[in-house]
Structure 1
Amino acid sequence: MAAGNIDEVVDGLAEVVRDARRDGDRIGYFAALYRQVTVEVRTAIHQGQFDDGARMDRFDTYFGNRYFEAYDAWRRDRSGPRCWREAFGLLDDSDTVIVQHLLLGVNAHINLDLAVAAARTCPGASIHTLRRDFLLINDILGRVVLEVQDSIDALSPLLSLLDRIGARTDERILDFSIRRSRQEAWHDAVLLAGQTEEEQAETIERLDIRAAVLARLIARPGGLVRPALELIHATESDDVPAVVAHLDRAMERPAARRSTDD
């Protein structure tokens, strides 16, 4: 699939989510998170929050198509970027917890795709005009992460308990990781924007290798993290369609709670 604008990105992600719910496919976990981020970005465009809304539409479309290209390549013949192959390769692993699947998608999309999409949107010196809008998305990501974290808590009781004991430490770590990754992605975007096609190919290859290494660390962590994940896995829901549906409604719940409070 290929999107021509941000509306088609949202529609394409919604289709992935629908198929995942029907088939019980864990690919819907990250797709549900990503769909909600994209809806929030689209809302911000319509509200005039970005310096250049039309440019952000193009940027988000390039970004979304990077995901669709990886998705289609994996479905076709298990090909595509290394980091996405690492993420998709664990979809049938029932021992991988929900948070791991989300982080694997976030890792590939931010640590590889984001810089590529930014450089394509604003090649050459024009990349610097994108900086404010690029960084503004951090706030959107942070808001979605907060609500999706609440959804995960409902699906994973032990993670919810750790949340309360740790004063939402895991959420702050996730938010910080996303922000730091986006900061690195910005530097990579500036680099790519000033390179020739041959140089870009080499840089993209390097970024893919780095993201693939990070994916392996997320998938198979060492130390005390592994037994902690095993405990979390033992308590969280294994109903994949229900998990996908729950995650896909994460951003609807704040409005519902505000309505109830009123």
Structure 2
Amino acid sequence: MPANNIDDVVDGLADIVREAGHTGDRVGYFAALYRQVTVEVRAAIHGGRFEDGARMDRFDTLFGNRYFDAYDAWRRDRSGPRCWRETFGLLDDADTVIVQHLILGVNAHINLDLAVAAAQTGPGKAVHALRHDFLLINDILTRVVLAVQDSLDVLSPFLSLLDKVGARTDERILDFSVRQSREEAWHNAVLLAGQSEEQREATIERLDVRAAVLARLIARPGGLVRPALHLIRSTESDDVPAVIAHLDRAMEQASAARRTG
């Protein structure tokens, strides 16, 4: 069932995380990250941080439903947007490391879904009123990414190897790629908001193709990155439910560390 509000989005993501934990499905990696972002956005709405909380609730609901639709399409018949097919298609790949799964989900959801959801929330010139609240989410994303990075440091002891081969995957690449992608998504949202239905379809197709290409590059990087990833993978736990549980507690663990630090 589609989500009707942000509470439904949180509950739907929690269900995916819970089921993935029971079955050992790596779809729970990104879902755990996404759930925590959504919980933080909901808290910001309730705390009056956004200029228009009701609008942000609608926006987050549209955004979440795009993920749910892609996930349902994949489970049903391996269909859905190209970039999500690339992402979900690697869930059973034992060589893909945890951080790749996270970035693949971020890539598809931001480089495709975010612009579409923003344009639907503010069609036409109304999209410009969304700009302030859209930018506020960057701060929320940064906090969650930093917390998840702490989890990755525990789960992937050799992750720092990627720094040595020029492929940073610490909080800086995650934060930078998210901010960079969100800025591009904003420009695409403004474009989509002013287009006709036919033009929107063509733009969404283009965004999907681009995100799918990026997904393939994330999944199969070249140069020295590939052997580094193999070494990183050899040190990561094969206990998928435990990894999901650890990622899903990232914000809770970060808060506890701040209280005791």
Q: TM-score range by the shorter chain?
A: over 0.9
* CA drift at 1:258: 2.9
TM-score (norm 2): 0.96
1:144 is aligned to: 144
Q: Any conservation in 2 of the 1:110–1:185 contact (CA below 8 Å)?
A: yes
Q: Name the counterpart of 1:179.
A: 179
Counterpart residue type for residue 247 of structure 1: L
Paired position in structure 2 for 1:58: 58
- Equivalent residue letter for 1:188: N
1:8 matched residue in structure 2: 8
Distance (Å, rounded) in 1 between the aligned partners of 2:7 and 2:260: 30
- RMSD of the alignment, in Å? 1.5
Relative to structure 1, is the Cα distance of residues 30 and 256 closer, same or farther in structure 2, using a 3 angstrom cutoff?
Answer: same
Partner residue of 1:36? 36
1:105 & 1:43 partners in 2: Cα distance? 23
2:74 aligned with 1:74, yes or no? yes
TM-score computed with the length of structure 1 as normaliser: 0.96
Q: Distance in 1 between matches of 2:65 and 2:232?
A: 33
Please tell me whether residue 102 in structure 1 is matched to residue 102 in structure 2.
Answer: yes
In the alignment, what sits opposite 1:124? 124
Q: Which letter maps to 1:179?
A: R
Q: Please give the secondary structure, in 2, of the residue aligned with 1:221.
A: coil
User: What is the CA-CA distance between 1:162 and the residue it aligns to?
Assistant: 6.5
C-alpha displacement of 1:2: 1.0
Q: How many residues align?
A: 259
Q: Which residue of 2 aligns with 1:85?
A: 85
Asked whether the 8 Å contact 2:99–2:169 carries over to 1, the reply is: no
| Residue ranges of structure 2 left out of the alignment (5+ in a row) | none
Q: Does 1:248 align with 2:248?
A: yes
Q: Which letter maps to 1:28?
A: G
Alignment check: 8 A CA contact 1:154 1:160 kept: no
2:215 maps to 1:215: yes
Q: Give, as a single letter, the amino acid of the residue that structure 1 aligns with 2:228.
A: A
Query: 2:162 and 2:98 mapped to 1: Cα distance?
Result: 15
Moved over 3 A (4+): 160-164
Q: Contact 1:124/1:194 (CA < 8 Å) preserved in 2? A: yes
Q: Which residue of 1 aligns with 2:22?
A: 22
Residue of structure 1 in register with 2:159 after alignment: 159
Give, in whole Å, the separation in 1 of the partners of 2:161 and 2:259: 27
Cα distance, 1:238 vs structure 2: 1.3
Identical amino acids, percent of aligned pairs: 80
Amino acid at match of 2:85: R
Amino acid at match of 1:138: N
Residues 112, 208 of structure 1: 8 Å contact kept? yes
8 Å contact from structure 2 (residues 156, 232) kept in 1: yes
Cα gap change, 1:169 to 1:217, in 2 (>3 Å): closer
Contact 1:107 1:211 in 2 (8 A): yes
- Distance change >3 Å, CA 205–CA 161, structure 1 → 2: closer
Matched with 2:204 is 204
Distance of 1:31 and 1:52 partners within structure 2? 26
What residue identity is the alignment partner of 1:156? Answer: S
Letter aligned with residue 155 of structure 1? L
Q: CA deviation at 1:170?
A: 2.4
